Amino acid sequence: MGSKIEDLITKMEQARSQLNATLDKVSPMVDIYPSWKMKQLLDHITGWDELVASAFQAHTRSETPVRMVSKAIDEYNTVSVNNRRELSLEKSRQAYDAAREKVFQALQEMPPEKQAQKIQVPWGGSCTVASVLRIFTSHEQEHAKHIEDSIKNPLK
């Protein structure tokens, strides 16, 4: 893997560590968002990791991603979280960790020349693999910041 991708993976791992450390400060029963507790946030992130891992695998095979959500991201989030409703918090946490490993595995299996090409992303359009990794890093940092802010100013 190219060093740029490796650096971005390191940043993703750091963002995940930051998010996990922030989640460790919150009771699983506390609302993080108006209708989401910790479990729903884990399920949300799991859904996106699974979607991106699938897109990376399709890109490696020079195929179009099977699942696309370009015009209904909020709907995708709702369905993704609802599909995991029956999982326990522990199972959701395991799925959250496993989904990230699938992203990294798909990256490791992607040839360097594919890493440098634009990829069709599930939310519509195309961008580089590096951009996807930056988006995911930022996504988790935003959630961590939101949780930190909600600890300081809990929802009433």
* 41 CB neighbour count, 10 Å cutoff: 21
Residue 48 CA from chain centroid, whole number: 4
Tokens standing for residue 126: 């195309």
CB within 8 Å of 24: residues ≥ 6 apart = none
Task: Return d(Cα 71, Cα 152) in angstroms, integer.
Answer: 34
Q: Which residue has the tokens 């209708």?
A: 35
Given a cut of 60, is residue 9 above it in pLDDT? yes
Domain 3-152, CATH: 1.20.120.450
Contact 121, 113 (CB under 8 A): no
pTM strictly above 0.75 = yes
Residue 1: per-residue pLDDT: 52
Average pLDDT, the chain: 90
Residue 87: per-residue pLDDT: 97
pLDDT digits (tens, 9 = 90+) for 21-33: 999 999 999 888 8
Task: Return d(Cα 123, Cα 86) in angstroms, integer.
Answer: 26
Percentage of the residues of the chain whose pLDDT score is greater than 70: 96
pLDDT digits (tens, 9 = 90+) for 65-124: 877 675 678 888 899 999 999 999 999 999 999 999 999 999 999 999 999 999 988 888
156 — pLDDT class (breaks 50, 70, 90): low
54 — pLDDT class (breaks 50, 70, 90): very high
Task: Return d(Cα 103, Cα 82) in angstroms, integer.
Answer: 22
